[in-house]
């Protein structure tokens, strides 16, 4: 699971090559878009692709070029407001629901901004002062991983934006469905243990993965794979969306308010389920992992199945203490949709294809300290009213995630590529 591809801070050259590659991938992901696609913001949760291109450049400009590049001239002073996301200590910013109102700067201006920042970063790294070397490399690694997160967000947002069009356009023609049925669900049991949780390497990690610490993990069992579409359809057909006894109170309120009857992007055509994918509308494949469900839906299904969701500590402990031969697909597969999580001869299907909801609230580890300065707003201030997801997904950049990675979303969110596996005592 662990990869050093994007996390090499041993040399300035290594980090520059990673920077160039990451910036190139972002542009490659945008190539299937037409010019009007760059401005679409289907819901307040998503952002227009043009904004992603600007914000990822803003990050490098604001946190690296301005502090460390002598004589650097910002591309446009208005971009400080337009492309700031949520950094209150940096200054005011355009409210997220209004990001689609930015008809100026136009797309060419934003692409020129990216080139301007890329050239300035290359110049800075070629002439970096020794006293700034370690700090700048650490910030560069953060910026690279930040852009990779936005690559995943870009794919999530493009899917949402495409889904509201009556044409249901295809981003790519790559999802052909599975040929091999998934194996039956199995269980792996673990005795009570004291597990070491958190990042334990020397390369990049986010501050919310630290500090590494010990957790008491009660005896538990965990499924060897993710729940599938076919299994989730059984929940739907058994009235799962109409049984309040299965749902948390807030979840039932969300279900009724949003009129949920199936996962996001699903529809029912004469008793057959179809879903919208980045390859267009297709019949639901029963053997693929379920995706685009909220925490509330995952929790209700688990209750229906006489199980529960694992805690994030149980999930990490199980993955670290299992043979993970099979891993689900990530962004580099070009599928942009989860492939079948076959277990075959493996004892545990590893992360991939879909992020996995856990029952753990997103909160700081004991002794957590946010990064200093404005970048301390990156993770810590969101440790409230959100739930932790573990693993990785079919649109997560290759090598970006790791077993200690802590993703987080509100329990009502569904546009991320999120599924779940079951656990029990």
Which tens digit of pLDDT belongs to each residue from 63-89? Answer: 999 999 999 999 999 999 999 999 999
Query: CA-CA-CA-CA torsion for 134, 136, 139, 145, nearest 10 degrees?
Result: -90
Is residue 354 within 8 A of residue 293, CB to CB? The reply is no
* pLDDT value at 30 more than 80: yes
Q: Are 251 and 409 in contact (CB under 8 A)?
A: no
Give the pLDDT confidence of 303-353 residue by residue, as tens digits.
Answer: 999 999 999 999 999 999 998 877 889 999 999 999 875 444 467 888 989
| Residue 324: predicted pLDDT | 82
- Residue 90 predicted with pLDDT over 90: yes
Taking residues 190-212, what's their average pLDDT? 97
Contact 119, 75 (CB under 8 A): no
Domains in the chain with CATH codes: 12-163 (1.20.120), 187-424 (3.90.1580.10)
pLDDT of 94-134, one tens digit each? 999 999 999 999 999 999 999 999 999 999 999 999 999 99
What stretches of 334-416 show up as alpha helix (H) in DSSP?
none
H-only helix segments in 31-132? 49-60, 66-68, 79-82, 107-126
Contacts of 329 (CB under 8 A, 6+ apart): 335, 338, 339, 352, 353, 394
What average pLDDT does this structure show over 153-180? 89
Look at residue 3 in the predicted model and tell me its pLDDT.
33
Instruction: Specify which of 6-20, 329-343, 384-398 reaches the highest per-range mean pLDDT.
Output: 384-398
**Strands, E assignment, 193-270:** 193-197, 213-217, 220-223, 266-269
Ranked by mean pLDDT, the top range of 167-176, 239-248, 369-378 is: 239-248
| Percentage above 90 pLDDT, the chain | 89
pLDDT surpassing 50 at residue 394: yes
> pTM value?
0.95
Q: Can you give the pLDDT at residue 174?
A: 76
């Amino acid at each position: 699971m662990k990869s050093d591809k994007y996390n090499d801070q041993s040399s300035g050259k290594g980090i520059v090559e990673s920077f160039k590659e990451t910036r190139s991938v972002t542009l490659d992901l945008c190539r299937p878009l037409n010019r009007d696609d760059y401005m679409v913001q289907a819901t307040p949760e998503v952002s227009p692709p043009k904004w992603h291109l600007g914000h990822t450049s803003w990050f490098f400009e604001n946190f690296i070029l301005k502090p460390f590049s002598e004589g650097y001239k910002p591309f446009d002073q208005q971009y400080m407001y337009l492309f700031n996301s949520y950094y209150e200590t940096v200054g005011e910013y355009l409210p997220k629901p209004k990001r689609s109102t930015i008809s100026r700067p136009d797309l060419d201006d934003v692409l020129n901004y990216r080139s301007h920042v890329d050239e300035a970063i290359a110049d800075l790294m070629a002439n970096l002062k020794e006293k700034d070397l370690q700090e700048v490399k650490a910030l560069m690694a953060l910026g690279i991983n930040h852009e990779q997160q936005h690559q995943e967000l870009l794919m999530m947002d493009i899917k949402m934006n495409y889904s509201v069009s009556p044409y249901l356009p295809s981003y790519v023609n790559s999802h052909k469905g599975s040929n091999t049925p998934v194996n039956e669900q199995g269980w792996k049991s673990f005795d009570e243990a004291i597990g070491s949780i958190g990042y334990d390497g020397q390369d990049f990690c986010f501050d919310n993965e630290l500090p590494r610490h010990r957790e008491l993990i009660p005896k538990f069992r965990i499924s060897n794979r993710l729940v599938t579409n076919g299994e989730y359809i059984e929940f739907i057909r058994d009235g799962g969306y109409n049984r309040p006894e299965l749902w948390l109170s807030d979840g039932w309120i969300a279900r009724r308010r949003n009129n949920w009857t199936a996962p996001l992007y699903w529809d029912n055509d004469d008793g057959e389920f179809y879903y919208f994918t980045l390859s267009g509308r297709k019949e639901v494949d029963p053997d693929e992992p379920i995706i685009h469900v909220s925490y509330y839906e995952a929790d209700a299904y688990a209750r229906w199945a006489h199980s529960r969701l694992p805690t994030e500590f149980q999930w990490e402990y199980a993955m670290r203490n299992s043979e993970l031969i099979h891993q689900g697909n990530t962004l580099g597969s070009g599928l942009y949709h989860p492939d079948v999580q076959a277990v075959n001869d493996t004892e545990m299907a590893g992360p991939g294809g879909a992020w996995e909801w856990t029952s753990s609230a997103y909160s700081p580890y004991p002794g957590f300290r946010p990064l200093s300065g404005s970048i301390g707003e990156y993770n810590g201030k969101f440790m409230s009213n959100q739930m932790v997801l573990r693993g990785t997904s079919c649109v997560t950049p290759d090598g970006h995630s790791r077993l200690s990675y802590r993703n987080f979303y509100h329990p009502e969110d569904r546009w991320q590529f999120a599924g779940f596996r079951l656990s029990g005592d």
